[in-house]
Amino acid sequence: MYSFRYLLSIVAVVSTLTACSQVATVAGYDTHNLNQQAQKSYMQVVGQAQSKGVLDTTSETALRVHRIFNRMKPVAEAANKTGVPFQWEMNVVRENTVNAWAMPGGKMVVYTGIVEKLNLTDDEIAAIVGHEMAHALKEHAKKDAGQKIITGAITSVAGSVVSSYTGVDVSSIASLASNLGVDKPFSRSQESEADKVGLQLMAQSGYNPEYAVSLWDKMNKNNNNNGALSAILSTHPTNNQRIDNIRKLLPSVIPIYQKNKK
């Protein structure tokens, strides 16, 4: 019991004292390199979608997504504090997947499924676009790289420490502590940060941040993930946690929206 507490102490101390993005930079995952790597991968993804005939540039859904993205892009460009200019790009893929994503450097994809299955309004689409822009702006991929380096070091050191106390192989315990104590809370914190920054971006672009709540209400109807197990094991906050957090943030962003609404 003592040795497991010791393991968790190592996880907590190292995670607190180490800046993940700095670790990633030292390991070669600096912003410029990550953005270049992402651009190459993104071109492959877009090329594959084009070859399969699912790169959507003409549907009403695609036109709406691009219109919203183009309205928000100047705001995102002004919010870029990475020191490296982003070449923002949006593509829409015709697929039933209820998802969207962003790569480092502002390379983004929205699937038609999330817009059409959930019957999203423009403001709700803006909540998605803002959230994904925020992931790129806050360099979450870079921090993930650093976090994985740190996690590897933690599990190695902690495993040795606990083994010296118990004389048994504790790789499974180290893995569990790393997963629940570091990786998943870290991912959830990224998602919460992206929600917060995304609200600011959509409000500055003149989209009503209150619609971020209705977006997640619709996500709840599509996939209710609010069980106790999901709250512990998921890399993302539950939908209800997101809604609660967004509602708490609304008083700070509604005045921004009212100043910029068109």
The model's pLDDT over 14-41, given as tens digits with 9 standing for 90+, comes to 444 344 444 334 344 577 888 888 889 8
- Percent of residues, the chain, with pLDDT higher than 90: 50
* Cβ count within 10 A of residue 191: 20
pLDDT category at 147 given cuts 50, 70, 90 is low
42 has a pLDDT exceeding 80: yes
Mean pLDDT, rounded, of the chain: 76
Query: Which of the residue ranges 62-66, 70-74, 182-186, 236-240 would you say has the lowest mean pLDDT?
Result: 182-186
Return all residues near 90 (Cβ < 8 A) that are at least 6 apart.
Answer: 65, 66, 69, 108, 109, 110, 129
| Tokens 């691009």, residue located | 66
Report the pLDDT value the prediction gives residue 212, as an integer from 0 to 100: 97
Report the pLDDT value the prediction gives residue 197, as an integer from 0 to 100: 96
Q: Which residues of 1-22 are buried (b: 16+ CB within 10 A; e: fewer)?
A: eebbeebeebbeebbeeeebbe
Report the pLDDT value the prediction gives residue 168, as an integer from 0 to 100: 40
Radius of gyration of the chain (CA): 20
pTM: 0.74
Nearest to 252 by CA among 194, 190, 199: 199
Query: Which of the residue ranges 6-15, 96-105, 111-120, 190-199 would you say has the lowest mean pLDDT?
Result: 6-15
Coil vs helix vs strand at 160: helix
Counted domains in the chain: 1
For 92, the domain range is 2-260
